[in-house]
Amino acid sequence: MAAERLVGIGKVVALHGVRGHLKVVPYGETLEALEAGEGVSACLPDGSVQRLTTVEVRAYRRSLLFLSREAKTPDEARLLVGAEICVPESRLPVPAEDEFYWHQLIGLQVMTADGRKLGTLQHIIETGSNDVYVVRAGREELLVPALADVIREVDIQRRFMVVDLRGLA
């Protein structure tokens, strides 16, 4: 039986304090819902995965502080900087209609309504008002605001997104 797909719910960007807290930039609200005792995975940049048990998750400025049972010291926690905090896909709440998780959108082919291919959605920038999709075709990069009047269709099964860029300066 194949292991269930792990999806990132936040990225470890730094250490905080002397107890081994990790400063994590969340990808939405899923990370905040973790409770003490819940297991997560640290998906490290080298491809390895380390199991972690949640001790505490709390808001800190524009990020979260995450403390695990396994990283008890700053030296142990330092090894996790750069990792993504991941959970099995089945643990994610079902999104509302016309809402999607970032991992579902990244990799979609982006095109205009008339079929002109713009590139692949590479990553998402979270801003204060709306997300911005970074679409790449070779060396060209296009920033597409995630707004209802711009994003016309998203088809996760067929792996494409249709956008209307008219009216954007």
Q: Is residue 17 part of a domain?
A: yes
**Which domain range does residue 106 map to?**
102-163
What are the C-alpha distances in Å from 114 to residues 77, 118, 165?
50, 11, 11
Domain check: are 16 and 74 in the same one?
A: yes
For residue 140, what are the β-bridge partners?
A: 137
pLDDT in tens, the chain (169 residues): 557 889 998 999 999 988 889 999 988 777 777 888 899 999 999 999 999 999 999 988 888 999 999 998 899 999 999 999 999 998 888 888 888 988 899 999 999 999 999 999 999 988 878 999 999 999 999 999 999 999 999 999 999 999 999 877 5
Q: Note whether 16 and 58 are same-domain residues.
A: yes
pTM strictly above 0.85: no
Evaluate whether residue 45 is within a structural domain.
yes
13 and 75: one domain? yes
Domain count, the chain: 2
Same domain, 69 and 138: no
Q: What is the CATH number of the domain that holds 21?
A: 2.40.30.60
